[in-house]
A and B are shown apart, each in its own frame.
Chain A
Amino acid sequence: MSDTTANIRAAALRGPVLKRAALTGGLVAIAIAVALIRSGSGLVVWQSVVTGLLTGGLYGLIAMGLTLIFGVLDIVNFAHGALLAVAMFIAFGVVQGTGLHPYLTLVIAVPALFLIGAFVHRGLLSGSGGATLENQLLITLGLSLLLENGLLMFFGAEPKTVALPGDFQFSLFGAVVTGGRLYAFIGAILIGAVLFYLLRRTRFGTAIRAVAANGQGAELVGVNVRRVHTLTFAIGTACAGAAAVLAAPLVTVTPTLGDQFNITAFVVVVLGGMGNVAGALVGGLLIGLVEQLTTIYMGGQSSLLGVFVVFLVVLFLRPEGLFGRKS
């Protein structure tokens, strides 16, 4: 393929994506305006938007690993939440044991989760046992139960907290922003950028995309598909590790913590388009916003309601996700 055709193709792709992004942005603006009318307090809505975006960054971060695994391997990984919990306990344990700054545990948690991911894929999923959808579901679900209860046995059910030394807060045009949430948000964007670079600009990323597009074809041109699968799964779980460390100071660490994020993460993945890392980040921000705005619309009642309404509407209108490509 020559350069010019590639550019033309890219432009043709970019056009509709931009249009959809603009449309989504417009809808969000309208939703915020309605929330403003509904609540009557600018401060409340502004705080909701800020909180929504900050929380959304976290959702995006968690969903990025999931979308990578889902998009490339086509595995619905129900153990993602449990792996997140494992990483949080690693962070907690290291902070307790060594007194390191919580963010420095990235150095341990990310490689550990990478190895766990590689092991899980090689040991449990890549064989013939993990070939069908049903088996994948059962294996990952079983794994999540195993991990959760293992953590329960090992660490006990007592909720744990990871304190962030020197946490601060500041006022952003009246809305409160705490340091921990801001760091997590920035971290999410940085990790998203790294993943994006990895996928788009490196040889290995090209191999991953080739495998995602057509496994057989990739194999024919000499890509080691099994290796790419394992590494992708490992990178996906390593993302969960990074997300866990950044989120650890913001949440209460319990073995069942994964449940809290699992469903939201799946919604974000579908919303952003399967396997689309940038889409996952945008989807996370959207879901964070929707959650907060729903609480304004519904007077606080179930923020998940709004999330699922948006989820269903998107599935209905664009089953491939807001920023996904038709398969």
Chain B
Amino acid sequence: MSARKLVAGLGACAALLAATAGCGGSAPSGAAGAGAGRDSGPVKIGALHPVSGANAVDGQQMRRGAQMAVEAINAAGGIRSLGGRKVKLETGDTQGKAEVGQSEAQRLISEGAVGLVGTYQSAVSTNVSVVAERNRVPFVMDVTASDAIFSHGYKYSFRVQPGSAAIAGAAARYLKEVSEKAGKPVRKVAFLHEQTDFGTGAAEAFAKAAKKLGIQVGPNISYDAVTASDLTAQITQVKASGADVLAVAGYYRDGLLAAKAINAVKPNLNAVWGVSDGAFDQPKFVSDVGALGERYFSTNYHYDAKNPATVKLRAEYQKRYGAPMRTGAVLAYDAVQVIAQGVERAASTDPEKVRAAIAGSQVQPLTVGTGPISFAPNGDNKNALPVLMQVQNGQIKQVYPQDKAESQPNYSVTWRP
């Protein structure tokens, strides 16, 4: 009797959650709304981020980053080609849900946004890119790892950060180069990753790139990031496999678990190697795990620590909000700049003209790149560059490639001579 009640309860709960999520559902395609209110008043840029829910910290960071970009543009005189019209950020909360992001995107477009930035999560960006495409409004992604969006031939989707395959490829290449330079060439890489598209995609792309470089990859160990509360058994598996490098692709919380488990098991590694990992290059990670995280590597997109403009922006953020500005927020800043400069060059608030201008962008980024932000025909940033970082004396330093390095890589782990 009671068991039946419980099952009924669980079912009802699932249905209820689905229903509340569904309420946000897709708004009708608003061709009529698409032109409203763009010709007068401030130029509106829509920012979609998860400012509530599990990813709220990053979402809030990114919204603030976008807001700071808008303020910088207005302080510099607004959009000059439109007679100095001011820019205004219209914000939407995706709550980390694809459906909500979709309806919020529709709302922002109906309210007259000339372009959208967002959204931190690939699943949400996937839906928003469809809305953008349908309404013919440019959508410049700040953080979105998935490469699938750029294989559909969309014309209105752009991305500032390097994609997941680009990061994984760079991670494999850097690993080979750095390990050889250190005189301990990599033999075998164990890959620990969370089990959704993000982690699995990173692992597959890494394995493919590593194979080309003659690096053996295995075992491939995945885990459920939502429920995992201990990764000791997984790290024991790494130890038993005899791998000399452990590559990790996960989120923040499980990154802490991995660090604790690595410290407990102490496998015979030469390096711990983050691949677009959500923990190892966060200042918060260093303060949370302390000495455990020392010498961990991470290949990821990153704010350009050697660019004076970035340093200034981050200092301002720190002053205003009392927390270090994360790379996601700097990317949001870059994305807003891309749209604003598109409007500037188009000298118009017509989203289609703005889109054409963005496609020919040459925007100086505050994140690491090999040159100005400029987009390939599929919308991906051609000059995005993943960078290798390492925790050194409790600081996260850029260590490779050479011209972006703040310090030299130390290819070793703390628990082995």
Closest-CB distance, B305 to chain A (whole angstroms): 22
Stretch at the interface among B5-13, B25-33, B83-91, B128-136: B5-13
Interface: A25 (CB within 8 A): no
Which residue in B5, B13, B195 is a CB contact (below 8 Å) of A78? B13
Residues of A within 8 A of B224 (CB): 302-304
Given contacts A254-B54, A300-B220, contact A266 B230 (CB under 8 A): no
Residues of A within 8 A of B226 (CB): 259-260
Residues of A within 8 A of B240 (CB): 41, 43-44
Residues of B within 8 A of A51 (CB): 230, 232-233
Q: Is the CB of B223 within 8 A of A161?
A: no
Closest-CB distance, A241 to chain B (whole angstroms): 18
Interface residues of B in 33-57 (CB under 8 A from A): 52-57
Interface: A292 (CB within 8 A): yes
Q: Is the CB of B232 within 8 A of A266?
A: no
Nearest B residue to A76 via CB reads B9
Given contacts A43-B236, A44-B236, A55-B229, contact A300 B221 (CB under 8 A): yes
Q: Is the CB of A256 within 8 A of B227?
A: no
Q: Is the CB of A70 within 8 A of B236?
A: no
Q: Is the CB of A270 within 8 A of B3?
A: yes
Q: How many positions in chain B have a CB within 8 Å of any CB in the partner chain?
A: 48
Interface: A169 (CB within 8 A): yes
Given contacts A137-B12, A159-B284, contact A260 B229 (CB under 8 A): yes
Closest-CB distance, A157 to chain B (whole angstroms): 4
Closest-CB distance, A213 to chain B (whole angstroms): 13
Q: Is the CB of A55 within 8 A of B6?
A: no
Q: Is the CB of A74 within 8 A of B2?
A: yes
| Cα distance, A203 to B227, chains bound together (Å) | 39
User: Which of B1, B195, B233, B236 is most buried by chain A, counting CB atoms within 10 A of its CB?
Assistant: B233
| Interface of chain B: mostly helix, strand, loop or mixed | helix
Nearest A residue to B194 via CB reads A300
Which residue in A55, A251, A266, A320 is a CB contact (below 8 Å) of B10? A266
Q: Is the CB of B57 within 8 A of A176?
A: no
Interface: A54 (CB within 8 A): yes
Residues of B within 8 A of A292 (CB): 233
Interface: A295 (CB within 8 A): yes
Q: Is the CB of A295 within 8 A of B16?
A: no
Given contacts A51-B230, A76-B6, A300-B234, contact A141 B16 (CB under 8 A): yes
Nearest A residue to B55 via CB reads A157
B interface footprint on A296-307 (CB within 8 Å = 1, 0 otherwise): 100111111000
Closest-CB distance, A254 to chain B (whole angstroms): 7
| Cα distance, A259 to B253, chains bound together (Å) | 14
Interface: A105 (CB within 8 A): no
| Cα distance, A232 to B333, chains bound together (Å) | 53
Interface residues of A in 106-152 (CB under 8 A from B): 133-134, 137-138, 141, 149, 152
Interface: B4 (CB within 8 A): yes
| Cα distance, A119 to B253, chains bound together (Å) | 32
| Cα distance, A299 to B195, chains bound together (Å) | 11
| Cα distance, A315 to B234, chains bound together (Å) | 30
Interface: A80 (CB within 8 A): no
A interface footprint on B364-402 (CB within 8 Å = 1, 0 otherwise): 000000000000000000000000000000000000000
| Cα distance, A52 to B231, chains bound together (Å) | 11
Nearest B residue to A180 via CB reads B260
Q: Is the CB of A315 within 8 A of B222?
A: no
Q: Is the CB of B288 within 8 A of A161?
A: yes
Closest-CB distance, A216 to chain B (whole angstroms): 16
Interface residues of B in 196-243 (CB under 8 A from A): 219-224, 226-230, 232-234, 236-237, 239-240
Interface residues of A in 61-99 (CB under 8 A from B): 70-71, 74, 76, 78
Given contacts A301-B222, A302-B195, contact A133 B5 (CB under 8 A): yes
Residues of A within 8 A of B220 (CB): 299-300
Which residue in A48, A71, A266, A269 is a CB contact (below 8 Å) of B233? A48
Which residue in B227, B232, B236 is a CB contact (below 8 Å) of A264? B227
| Cα distance, A178 to B13, chains bound together (Å) | 36
Interface: B405 (CB within 8 A): no
Q: Is the CB of A54 within 8 A of B230?
A: yes
Interface: B356 (CB within 8 A): no
Interface: A284 (CB within 8 A): no
Q: Is the CB of B223 within 8 A of A303?
A: yes
Given contacts A51-B232, A250-B229, contact A134 B6 (CB under 8 A): no
Q: Is the CB of A74 within 8 A of B5?
A: yes
Interface: A206 (CB within 8 A): no
Residues of B within 8 A of A320 (CB): 2-3
A interface footprint on B336-359 (CB within 8 Å = 1, 0 otherwise): 000000000000000000000000
Q: Is the CB of B233 within 8 A of A256?
A: no
A interface footprint on B259-289 (CB within 8 Å = 1, 0 otherwise): 0100011000000000000000000100010
| Cα distance, A259 to B225, chains bound together (Å) | 12
Q: Is the CB of A256 within 8 A of B230?
A: no
| Cα distance, A239 to B94, chains bound together (Å) | 35
| Cα distance, A152 to B227, chains bound together (Å) | 20
| Cα distance, A240 to B224, chains bound together (Å) | 24
Residues of A within 8 A of B229 (CB): 55, 58, 250-251, 260
Q: Is the CB of B236 within 8 A of A134?
A: no
Residues of A within 8 A of B8 (CB): 133
Which residue in B9, B53, B223, B260 is a CB contact (below 8 Å) of A295? B223
Nearest A residue to B240 via CB reads A41
Residues of B within 8 A of A54 (CB): 230
Nearest A residue to B225 via CB reads A260
Nearest A residue to B226 via CB reads A260
Q: Is the CB of A134 within 8 A of B12?
A: yes
Nearest B residue to A41 via CB reads B240
15 A-B pairs, CB-CB below 8 angstroms? Answer: A44-B233, A51-B230, A71-B2, A159-B57, A250-B230, A256-B53, A256-B54, A269-B6, A270-B3, A291-B227, A295-B233, A299-B219, A299-B220, A300-B222, A303-B224
Lowest 3 CB-CB distances: which A-B pairs, in order?
A: A157-B56, A300-B222, A47-B236
Please report A residues at the B interface, Cβ cutoff 8 Å: 39, 41, 43-44, 47-48, 51-52, 54-55, 58, 70-71, 74, 76, 78, 133-134, 137-138, 141, 149, 152, 156-159, 161, 169, 175-176, 178, 181, 250-252, 254, 256, 259-260, 263-264, 266, 269-270, 274, 291-292, 295-296, 299-304, 315, 319-321, 327
Given A78-B9, A133-B5, A300-B223, list of 6 further CB < 8 A pairs? A137-B9, A137-B12, A156-B56, A157-B56, A260-B229, A263-B227
